[in-house]
Amino acid sequence: MGLYSQLKDSISRVTDRLFSEQEPKRIGIYGPPNAGKTTLANRIARDWTGDAVGAESHIPHETRRARRKENVEIERNGNSVTIDIVDTPGVTTKVDYEEFTDEMEKDDAIRRSREATEGVAEAMHWLREDVDGVIYVLDSAEDPITQVNTMLIGIIESRDLPVLIFANKIDLDDASVKRIEDAFPQHKTIPLSAKEGDNMDEVYDNIAEYFG
Amino acid sequence: MPHECTTCGRTFPDGSKEMLSGCPDCGGNKFQFAPAGQVSADTAETAESADVAESADSTSRSGSTDTAGTVERAAKTVRGWVSSNSGQASDSQTTDDPQSAVDTTPPAANGRSESSEIAPAGREETPRESDRPDDDRSWPSSDESAEPESTAETAAFDEWPETARRPEDRSDAAANDPTPTDGPTPGAGSTRTEGDSDGGAAPAQSASRPRSRSDSPTPSQSDGTDSSEGGDGSIMADSEDAAQADARSAIVQTDDLPDETDAHDRTATSTDETDVPPSERGRVVSEPSGEQPSIEELRAELNEQFESIKIVSPGQYELNLMELYNREEYIISLQEDGRYVIDVPDSWHAEDDEE
């Protein structure tokens, strides 16, 4: 049945693209590893489609292939916006299997590391060609000014992609939304906790507004 | 045992493949060339050849290293061939030459890659060779004029490698009929030798021909240098050249007759092949030494070429996000040997990703 629905989805997507002016925007969820991208993607998908996107984990690089949830229809204020959500692997400049050796065997850690690296390459490639807008997810408890964040935001800006910055994990004690706002004042920052579901209304409002 | 591990002192014979993968005892990967331990004839030979190569490199670093080195090597090999073929050990120098000639091929190749490692040792031949590279540099000037003998030597060396110049030499020294028959290269050599041994023009020519024979395995440049040496010796009456000339003339007589026909062909071919054979030799010899580093070098090259992902070690990567973003190809999978599997992305990937 999955295959059938998949086929149906893809066909409907094609027909949508061919005959509908409202082609769903493909929104990439980007950010450093462990910022809560998959958690956010899952919450959005569950809220509007009932399905999850992928597994979540506290271990970085759980998402090592870009996953897409298509035709997520978000209704706000009587309008409906359909988007494709692309959950991407966390982007980083360095992947070291020793990060994972506490959690798993060395061989698994090495494989995870390699897959994560492939995932970053994939994410960067998607960013180059396959996304129409970006949700940039940051951990509010972490310093947002990093090489990765600066570079990715710069790339997104250079492509003139619409971008929302999500200050995630506001449920944590040492979260600081202001630190993120100050780091990227040129973009709208929305605080939320994807895990707890905090402030999701504002999230959807902004998604509909920005990407609709 | 010319090669010595710098960490544990273990020695390896020249050309040993053990050291290509590091010292089996201590794992060290630095080796020094140790000519001091020359005991056997082999070591002496290698040392000589090494010296030659080094001198050639040192002198000719400026630009004509390859040509100079090849010329020198070729010259030696030719001498070696001649002397060995003749079976005559005319001079101490000539005796040294055949040894070196035997070795020269491998060291010559090494000369390019390993030249720095080789320890110098002054020998009679080295000064000549050192002169030759200089001559090579001065080729254009030397070509124009067949000048006074002092320059004539150098000029001869320079000119000789290139066959076209010989006619000039002929005109200068003495134009003989047989030279044209041999073709450009051998003829020139013959003319000069004839000048020395005026009594028998035929043997002199023959002498030039055997050189060409010896050259045929080696590049034509070797012919030029050899012949030039012989010619110089005849003209200049230098001690070295004279000795060589003597050896050659003697050799020539023995070998001439059967090879004359061949000589023409070889000369002709040699002229064409001038550049190729030396390089081939160099490759053959140098390859074993180059292989081991080549693996690491290849990896380094790959990392440099594909700067987007640097494999520090298995499971440890450094990523250049801008490179990854900019590259057209889509990296599907990454392998630890530094290779990527890449593809051009299409719109098909959604289905797999969804599940």
| Segment B74-101, tens digit of pLDDT | 555 556 555 555 444 444 444 444 444 4
Q: What is the arithmetic mean of pLDDT over B104-125?
A: 40
The answer to whether residue A147 scores a pLDDT higher than 80 is yes
Higher pLDDT, B72 or B87: B72
Q: How far is A192 from chain B (nearest CA, A)?
A: 26
**Start-to-end C-alpha separation, chain A:** 30
Q: What is the pLDDT of residue A36?
A: 94
A91 pLDDT exceeds 90?
Answer: yes
B260 and B327: one domain?
no
**Nearest residue in A to B344, CA atom:** A125
In the prediction, which pLDDT does B34 show?
Answer: 67
**What integer pLDDT is reported at residue B336 of this predicted model?**
66
DSSP classification of residue A24: P
Distance from CA of A100 to the nearest CA of B (A): 10
Domain boundary among B279, B314, B343: B279
Q: State the pLDDT at residue A175.
A: 94
In the predicted structure, residue B45 carries a pLDDT above the cut 50: no
> Which residues from chain A sit within 8 angstroms of residue B354, using beta carbons?
6, 67-70
Do B40 and B169 fall within a single domain?
yes
Cβ–Cβ of A128/B326 closer than 8 Å?
Answer: yes
B5 pLDDT above the threshold of 70: yes
Nearest alpha carbon to residue A114 among A61, A54, A58, A55 = A61
- Do B228 and B340 reside in the same domain of the chain? no
Closest CA to B74 of B196, B184, B185: B185
CA distance A118 to chain B (A): 6
Residues of B in contact with A12 (CB under 8 A): none
Q: Are residues B221 and B322 in the same domain?
A: no
Look at residue A151 in the predicted model and tell me its pLDDT: 92
Pick from B245-249, B277-281, B340-344: least confident: B277-281
Count of A–B CB contacts within 8 Å?
A: 90
pLDDT at B340: 61
Domain count within chain B: 2
Q: Which two tokens stand for residue B308?
A: 């987007």
Give the Cα separation of B90 and B239 in Å (integer).
13
Whether B1 maps to a domain, the answer reads: no
What is the CB neighbour count within 10 angstroms for residue B249? 24
- The values of phi and psi at residue B149, to 5°, are -65, -35
Report yes or no: A169 at the B interface, CB cutoff 8 Å: no
User: Measured between alpha carbons, how far is residue A45 from residues A70, A86, A176 in Å?
Assistant: 9, 11, 26
Note whether B321 and B187 are same-domain residues. Answer: no
Strands A133-139 and A163-168: parallel
Give the confidence band of B30 by pLDDT, cuts at 50, 70, 90.
Answer: confident
List chain B residues with CB under 8 Å of A125.
324-325, 327, 330-331, 345
Cα–Cα distances (Å) from B76 to A196, B99, B222, B324, in that order, read 84, 9, 8, 53
Residue B284: what pLDDT?
52
Instruction: Note the Cα B243 to chain centre separation in Å.
Output: 24
The answer to whether A96 contacts chain B (CB < 8 Å) is: yes
Residues B59 and B175 in one domain: yes
Sign of torsion, CA A75 A80 A86 A90?
A: negative
SS3 A96: strand
pLDDT in tens, B171-227: 444 444 444 444 444 433 333 444 344 444 444 444 444 444 444 444 444 444 444
By C-alpha distance, the chain A residue nearest B316 is A96
Domain boundary among B245, B279, B313: B279
Same domain? B219 vs B110? yes
Give chain B's length: 355
Asked if A82 contacts A71 with a C-beta cutoff of 8 angstroms, the reply is: yes
pTM of this prediction exceeds 0.90: no
> Is B334–A118 a contact, with Cβ atoms under 8 angstroms apart?
yes
CA distance A3 to B202: 93
Q: Are residues B269 and B124 in the same domain?
A: yes
Q: What gap in Å lies between CA B139 and CA B63, rounded to an integer?
A: 13
Residues B221 and B324 in one domain: no
Closest CB to A68 among B317, B334, B354: B354
Residues of A within 8 A of B303 (CB-CB) are: none
**pLDDT on residue A135:** 95
Task: State whether B334 and A117 contact (CB < 8 Å).
Answer: yes
Task: Tell whether B224 and B341 lie within a shared domain.
Answer: no
Q: Which residue has the higher pLDDT, A73 or B65?
A: A73
pLDDT band at B293 (very low <50, low <70, confident <90, very high): low
* B273 and B189 belong to one structural domain: yes
Q: Is residue B213 part of a domain?
A: yes
Return mean pLDDT, chain A.
Answer: 88
* Count of CB atoms situated within 10 Å of the CB of A205: 14
> What percent of chain B is modeled with pLDDT above 90?
0
Which 8-state DSSP code applies to residue A193?
A: B
Band the pLDDT of B108: cuts 50, 70, 90: very low
- Kindly list the residues from chain A whose CB atom is less than 8 angstroms away from the CB atom of residue B337: none
Beta strands in B124-263 (DSSP E): none
Q: What percent of chain A has pLDDT over 70?
A: 91
Nearest of A194, A196, A166, A206 to residue A53 by alpha carbon: A194
In the block, residue with structure tokens 């004690």: A173
Q: Are B186 and B227 in contact (CB under 8 A)?
A: yes
Chain B CB contacts of A154 under 8 Å are none
Q: Which domain holds residue B346?
A: 300-354
Both structure tokens of B311: 């494999």
| B151-170 average pLDDT score | 46
- Of A58-67, B4-13, B101-110, least confident by mean pLDDT is B101-110
pLDDT-derived band at B310 (thresholds 50, 70, 90) equals confident
Sequence spans of domains, chain A: 26-211
d(CA B351, CA A151): 30
CB A48 within 8 A of CB A80: no
Q: What is the mean pLDDT of residues B283-297?
A: 57
Which residue do the tokens 């030719």 mark?
B78
What is the DSSP code string of A104-155?
Answer: S-HHHHHHHHHHHHHHHHHHHHHHHHT-SEEEEEEETTS----HHHHHHHHH
Mode of pairing for the β-strands spanning B340-343 and A94-96: unpaired
Q: Could you tell me what percent of chain B has a pLDDT over 70? A: 16
Higher pLDDT among residues A173 and B86, named by residue: A173
Asked if the model's pLDDT at residue A191 lies above 60, the reply is yes
B245 and B110 together in one domain: yes
* Residue, of A39 and B216, whose pLDDT is higher: A39
Q: What is the pLDDT of residue B100?
A: 41
Alpha carbon distance B338, B301 (integer Å) = 10
Which fold is adopted by the domain A26-211? Answer: Rossmann fold (3.40.50)
